[in-house]
């Protein structure tokens, strides 16, 4: 992923796909500010960031999605998880066999609203054929409804629940990386709610029993070594619900560790 220590961050201050919660639109500015408070990361690296902003039309999600899809960049900071829909759609056009790894406590396959909300974007990407069902890997699942469970099973979508991850993080990371090598372009989508709410309280849905922040960082520090990793997004930080800025700081550290 390393691009001569120079990375382009695109801020997407949109909660348009967030259904009830609207705080995530405040996250990109705060996270980008916080990145400046890190010096070298744990590998002794740091990056120069070029920062762009998507102009969000609060009355028009489709127009906003078009603007998101027209942006090129390395790291996209949301915003709610629906931003992955236009980001990945644009990304997928550049590769023969694009793949998506998602860290999230939810599968995001509830409905198939168009344009998708933050609860459906995975299902919509698969159903419309932008994302091959065998090219998506979901990590950290621990809350799903019946229809999502059937959708994953019927389509043989690969997923790793927190139950599977428990005490086996290193091995699961090996498996995920092995699977990801098949893709010519890898997109990594990070929903902060994969982390336990005790360590990331600033998010829309507090799902108990999540990854520790250390386990999440472990995955990031390994996945960034994949040469085919071309784009990352980080979503669902809600500063309105945060406590002492812990979640914003964790999000900023995750980005610092990607370098």
Note whether 125 and 214 are within 8 A (CB).
no
Find out whether 124 and 116 touch, Cβ atoms under 8 Å.
Answer: yes
As a whole number of angstroms, the distance between CA 126 and CA 94 comes to 17
Residue nearest to Mn ion (CB): 106
Q: Which is nearer to Mn ion, 138 or 223 (CB)?
A: 138
Where are the strands (E) in the chain, listed by range? 6-11, 48-53, 75-77, 98-103, 136-141, 158-161, 185-191, 229-235
Nearer to Mn ion by C-beta: 73 or 140?
Answer: 140
Shortest CA distance to 134 belongs to which of 188, 98, 105, 103? 98
Cβ contact 218:131 at 8 Å: no
Nearer to Mn ion, 193 or 238 (CB): 193
Contact residues for Mn ion, defined by CB under 5 A:
104, 106, 191, 193
**Strand 75-77 and strand 185-191: pairing?**
unpaired
| Residue 118 near residue 80 (C-beta atoms within 8 A) | yes
Q: For Mn ion, which is the closer residue by CB, 81 or 253?
A: 81
Q: Which is nearer to Mn ion, 122 or 259 (CB)?
A: 122
């Amino acid at each position: 992923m390393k691009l001569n220590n120079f990375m382009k961050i695109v801020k997407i201050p949109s909660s348009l796909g967030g259904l009830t919660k609207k705080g995530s639109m405040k996250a990109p500015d705060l996270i980008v500010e916080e990145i400046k408070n890190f010096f070298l990361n744990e590998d002794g690296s740091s990056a120069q960031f070029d920062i762009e902003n998507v102009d969000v039309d609060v009355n028009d999600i489709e127009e906003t999605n078009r603007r998101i899809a027209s942006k090129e960049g390395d790291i996209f900071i949301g915003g709610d998880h629906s931003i992955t829909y236009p980001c990945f759609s644009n990304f997928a056009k550049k590769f023969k066999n694009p793949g998506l790894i998602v860290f999230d406590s939810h599968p995001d396959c509830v409905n198939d609203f168009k344009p998708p909300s933050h609860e459906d974007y995975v299902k919509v990407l698969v159903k419309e054929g932008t994302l091959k069902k065998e090219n998506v890997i979901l990590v950290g699942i621990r809350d799903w409804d019946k229809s999502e469970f059937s959708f994953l099973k019927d389509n043989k979508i690969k997923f790793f629940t927190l139950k599977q991850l428990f005490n086996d993080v290193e091995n699961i990371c090996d498996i995920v990386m092995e699977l990801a090598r098949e893709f010519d372009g890898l997109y990594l989508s990070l929903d902060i709610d994969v982390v336990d709410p005790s360590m990331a309280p600033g998010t829309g849905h507090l799902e108990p029993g999540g990854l520790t922040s250390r386990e999440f960082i472990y995955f990031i520090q390994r996945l960034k070594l994949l040469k085919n990793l071309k784009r990352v997004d980080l979503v669902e930080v809600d500063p309105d619900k945060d406590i002492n800025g812990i979640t914003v700081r964790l999000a900023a550290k995750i980005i610092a560790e990607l370098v």
